[in-house]
Amino acid sequence: MELKLHDTQTREKRVFTPLDKTNVRMYVCGPTVYNPPHIGNARPVVIFDILFRLLRLLYGEEQVAYIRNITDIDDKIITAAKQQNITITQLARSVEKQFHTETEQLLCLPVTASPRATDHINEMQKLVQALLAKNIAYIAEKHVLFNVARQNDYGTLSKRQLSDMIAGARVEVAPYKQNPHDFVLWKPSAEDEPGWDSPWGRGRPGWHLECSAMSAKFLGTTFDIHGGGIDLLFPHHENERAQTCAASGEKIMANFWIHNGYVVRDNEKMSKSLGNVLLTSDLLEQFDGETVRLALLSGHYRQPLDITTQKLQETKTQLDRLYRVCKPDAEVRERAASAKPDAEFLNALLDDLNTPKAIARLHTLAAEIVSENDSEKRGAVNEAPGTEESPSAVSATDKKVALLAAANLVGLLSQNPDTRLGYIVQNDTDAARLLAEREDARRDNDFAKADEIRASLASLGYQIEDTPAGPRLRRLSEK
Ligand SMILES: [Zn+2]
């Protein structure tokens, strides 16, 4: 099995080979926790969860480390906390908590570690010292800056020429910068701003520095995969790479740089200024996490993805259908847990995480189960009682196992189908009692009473479905 991934550094799809297959290492930039997470934050969370699952399948669950940081010190956090009249810690912890809750609702596996920037100030200061000692950084007006001119391959990750960048620079450049693209490693904090003592005065780290320090601490200065949204490529990832490589003396920070595309709305980038930002919490109020997860996987990760209410509604219908068709019983679940994933499904994922193709395969498997079931029904009419199980029955179960194993691999169809589809009995004693009374009425041929009870159940929000295994209740007010 060969995993191919598109590497931004080389701009090509390459075969992924870990530096050490007993310790496969991935770092993904996590959120800056200053405002409620939006769907653009949720996309990399789900995409890199798929990659994490795939790496665990290929190299073993214990052999893969996935680090996703929390940026909890940043100018945006300071500004937002001031506006809300709370401390930055109060704001950062509350947004961080929300982010983790939503990540769970999106059915992502827990990451290996989720380090906070403020817990690693010491490591950041050491990195600044190393860069100063190498004369790659300089001090100016209480700032410590990275001198991009001293890093001769600066710009190679994002394919930008330093000379073009200087010519194109329109931003007002701070007078103490030697080069307009020199970036802050450490900056001074005003008295009312959070800060830490340092050899350069009380201050705080620059954003790029945080990720270099934390990735080095958890994964070393060279590791396998660095991921994040494409909006982070420049300047964030370029600067991370520059700092890490300058300090370590290595040419490579990450062997693969993987970037996911934007979430767009009506073909426009989501942005605060356009007022079209879609919060993850708003979506999770209208739709369950699994539906949102599947919708985020519906497009290829490198392409822009348009998320609309209509798309989410269609996704929910598709997902419910998969649950209805698969309806895994204990046997199917048990077999799926140890089954080899379907080859076509897996090959799609191994080919640069082609999730749309993989999902299409799930639907094909579902369609095959339906047709197997239909032919079983037809077969049953012609078969004499007592004949052995027909070969098609075996193959319908096999297909269910294949569908469930494939879906589970990407974190889908792992919920209780009865809960998912709104079938309940156990937690609503009134409804359960009414259903039993209706059964009694029907047994007594009191159909008027049975109809009355059906109406009462409907007013409680339940529909009765009569199945070969007996009547079942289904909640009408589905999410
Ligand atoms: Zn980062």
Distance 30 CA to ligand 1 centre (A): 7
Distance 465 CA to ligand 1 centre (A): 52
Same domain, 161 and 244: yes
Distance 354 CA to ligand 1 centre (A): 25
Distance 71 CA to ligand 1 centre (A): 8
Distance 21 CA to ligand 1 centre (A): 24
Residue 212 covered by a domain: yes
Same domain, 120 and 241: yes
Same domain, 131 and 60: yes
DSSP string, 171-240: SPPPTT-SSTT-EEEEEE--TTS--B--TT-SEEE-HHHHHHHHHHHHH-SSEEEEEEEGGGIIIIIHHH
Distance 388 CA to ligand 1 centre (A): 60
Same domain, 462 and 372: no
Same domain, 234 and 361: no
Residue 213 covered by a domain: yes
**72 CB-side CA count, 13 A:** 24
Tally of structural domains, the chain = 3
Distance 98 CA to ligand 1 centre (A): 20
Residue 290 covered by a domain: no
Distance 68 CA to ligand 1 centre (A): 9
Residue 219 covered by a domain: yes
Same domain, 386 and 438: no
Same domain, 193 and 341: no
Residue 305 covered by a domain: no
Distance 302 CA to ligand 1 centre (A): 18
Distance 213 CA to ligand 1 centre (A): 10
Spatial CB neighbours of 256, under 8 Å, sequence gap ≥ 6: 5, 7, 9, 14, 16, 224, 225, 226
Distance 199 CA to ligand 1 centre (A): 24
Tokens of 39: 């769907």
Same domain, 356 and 228: no
- Report CA 340 to chain centroid distance, whole Å: 24
Residue 147 covered by a domain: yes
DSSP string, 73-86: --HHHHHHHHHHTS
Distance 130 CA to ligand 1 centre (A): 19
Residue span of the structural domain in which 22 resides: 4-269
Same domain, 160 and 262: yes
Task: Give me the tens of pLDDT residue by residue for the chain, a chain 479 residues long.
Answer: 899 999 999 999 999 999 999 999 999 999 999 999 999 999 999 999 999 999 999 999 999 999 999 999 999 999 999 999 999 999 999 999 999 999 999 999 999 999 999 999 999 999 999 999 999 999 999 999 999 999 989 999 999 877 666 555 555 678 889 988 899 999 999 999 999 999 999 999 999 999 999 999 999 999 999 999 999 999 999 999 999 999 999 999 999 999 999 999 888 888 878 888 999 999 999 999 999 999 999 999 999 999 999 999 999 999 999 998 998 888 999 999 999 989 999 999 999 999 999 999 999 999 999 988 887 777 766 655 545 555 555 588 999 999 999 999 999 999 888 778 776 555 667 887 888 889 888 888 999 999 999 998 888 888 888 776 678 888 775 44
CA distance 243 to 250: 11
Residue 287 covered by a domain: no
Distance 28 CA to ligand 1 centre (A): 7
Same domain, 454 and 393: no
Distance 238 CA to ligand 1 centre (A): 10
CA distance 288 to 296: 13
Residue 297 covered by a domain: no
Same domain, 224 and 359: no
**How does pLDDT run across 278-323, given as a tens digit for each residue?**
999 999 999 999 999 999 999 999 999 999 999 999 999 999 999 9
